[in-house]
């Protein structure tokens, strides 16, 4: 089971936050109740509070470390956090806005899970989501190519799925439910600083399951090979290292 490090994840907090801010900007209306699925360490709750000052916000995440970090700031009595698995989580009452940022790509059978969760959205409410769509990028291609080779492959079997989802998939899903849908894809050009910034970025998210699957000694050998390949694929420039990162967005509104 993959564990998550809030400090590692927050290393690039500003860059990681931008897609969520862009997603929130496309949500219409004034939801009174918001559920943030995959809330992580709670650092994006402030974005929701800024947009909807009077809303009740409930964050859900399956990582105990993330929830502990999120609960560290109890200043807002209209914000709660819950340790739960999105595949089985249910709302106690209809929700005006369910929002999910960079979570659903980790969920097996995510479309079925979304259909189940959509039933918890109140009439006139919204389901908004964002997922990475860069699994054909050098960062991920090299990750899986190298980790599939000996001596790594025997430890990483089953960890090489392409988890990217394009906007058309969500458009078809929500229109099939009779909802109004705004779906799109954006490529961000993140300018990163440091000696191995692309590795630092992906080691906190997409590479984490593979890194944790490798035993000590083997992991260090893999990291050296992977870092070298990333430096070649993403050459440093005088102003930093450019990481193109494509993401899929969908904002669906239930009209009944």
What is the per-residue pLDDT across 110-133, written as a single tens digit (0 to 9) for each? 999 999 999 999 999 999 999 999
In a domain, 214, yes or no: yes
**Total domains present in the chain:** 1
Question: 17, 121 in Cβ contact below 8 A?
Answer: no
**How much is the pLDDT for 162?**
66
Range(s) of the domain holding residue 146: 6-253
- 255 burial via Cβ count (<10 Å: 0-12, 13-18, 19+): exposed
Average pLDDT across the chain, whole number: 91
- In the predicted structure, residue 142 carries a pLDDT above the cut 70: yes
In a domain, 1, yes or no: no
Residue 165 three-state SS: coil
Say which CATH number the domain at 76 has.
3.40.50.150
In a domain, 119, yes or no: yes
**In 157-217, alpha helices (H):** 167-176, 197-203, 208-213
**How much is the pLDDT for 3?**
53
Question: 250, 183 in Cβ contact below 8 A?
Answer: yes
What is the per-residue pLDDT across 49-92, written as a single tens digit (0 to 9) for each? 999 999 999 999 998 988 998 898 667 889 999 999 999 999 99
In a domain, 21, yes or no: yes
**How much is the pLDDT for 4?**
46
* C-alpha to C-alpha distance for 246 and 244, rounded to whole angstroms: 7
Q: pTM for this structure?
A: 0.89
């Amino acid at each position: 089971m993959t564990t998550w490090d809030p400090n590692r994840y927050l290393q690039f907090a500003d860059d990681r936050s931008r897609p969520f801010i862009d997603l929130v900007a496309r949500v219409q209306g004034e939801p009174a109740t918001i559920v943030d699925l995959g809330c992580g360490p709670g650092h994006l709750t402030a974005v929701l509070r800024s947009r909807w000052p009077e809303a009740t916000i409930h964050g859900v995440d399956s990582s105990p470390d993330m929830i502990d970090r999120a609960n560290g700031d109890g200043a807002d009595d209209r914000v709660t956090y819950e340790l739960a698995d999105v595949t089985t989580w249910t709302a106690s009452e209809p929700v005006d806005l369910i929002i999910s940022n960079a979570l659903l790509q980790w969920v097996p059978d995510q479309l079925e899970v979304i259909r189940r969760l959509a039933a918890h959205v109140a009439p006139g409410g919204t389901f908004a989501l964002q997922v990475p769509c860069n699994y054909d990028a050098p960062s991920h291609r090299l990750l899986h190519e190298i980790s599939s080779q000996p001596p790594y492959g025997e430890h990483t079997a089953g960890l090489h799925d392409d988890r990217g989802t394009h906007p058309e998939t969500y458009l078809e899903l929500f229109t099939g439910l009779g909802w109004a849908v705004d779906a799109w894809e954006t490529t961000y050009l993140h300018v990163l600083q440091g000696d191995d910034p692309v590795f630092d970025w992906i080691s906190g998210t997409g590479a984490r399951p593979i890194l944790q699957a490798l035993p000590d000694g083997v992991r260090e050998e893999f990291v050296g090979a992977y870092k070298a390949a990333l430096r070649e694929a993403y050459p440093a420039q005088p102003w930093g290292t450019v990481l193109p990162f494509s993401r899929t967005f969908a904002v669906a509104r239930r009209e009944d």
